[in-house]
Amino acid sequence: MKQWLILLFLLIAIACRQQIDPLVGIWKVNSSFYSATYQIMKKRNQLNGLVLFYNDGTTRYKHDGTQQQYIFNGLKKKEDGQYVDGISGATTKNDTPKNIEIKIINKDTLEVTTFVMNKPLVEFWTRQNNEITP
């Protein structure tokens, strides 16, 4: 009987464990044109991308905790496993153009497609496990 209680407790603990979204974390953009580091965090069942560092040669930004700049807000997971911005996830293709799509390549690599003037720009982001130093 004692073994059954332990087994039942373990099953309940595993079932109640909160699932962390695979996008949550700190990501660095792999680009030869600019440097950027973003933190993707979950808030109210939506994913937001906070800009921690950005430098394209003309504009430089480093998050200092006073103001928050976001690359995207309200990212949602689609049924096919891709993530899209909240607007394009709730509208049809003819309504509002997409802003961003994220596809998970593996646990440490994302394929991020942003749309500039309706033209796709594909980048790869890698997970950062160390301090946020650009």
State the pLDDT at residue 34: 93
All domains of the chain in start order, with CATH = 20-128 (2.40.128.520)
pLDDT of 20 > 50? The answer is yes
Q: For 52-103, what is each residue's pLDDT tens digit? A: 999 999 999 999 988 889 888 888 888 777 888 755 333 444 455 668 899 9
Q: Are 51 and 61 in contact (CB under 8 A)?
A: yes
* Rounded distance between C-alpha atoms, residue 9 and residue 100, angstroms: 42
Task: Find the DSSP H helices in 1-134.
Answer: 2-16, 86-90
Q: How far is CA 127 from CA 12, 22, 93, 94, in A?
A: 31, 10, 30, 33
Q: Would you tell me how many other CB atoms lie within 10 Å of the CB of residue 39?
A: 19
Question: What is the per-residue pLDDT across 89-117, written as a single tens digit (0 to 9) for each?
Answer: 334 444 556 688 999 999 899 999 988 88
SS3 content of the chain, % helix, strand, coil (to 5): 15, 45, 40
Helix (H, G, I), strand (E, B), or coil: what is residue 42? strand
pTM higher than 0.85 for the full model? no
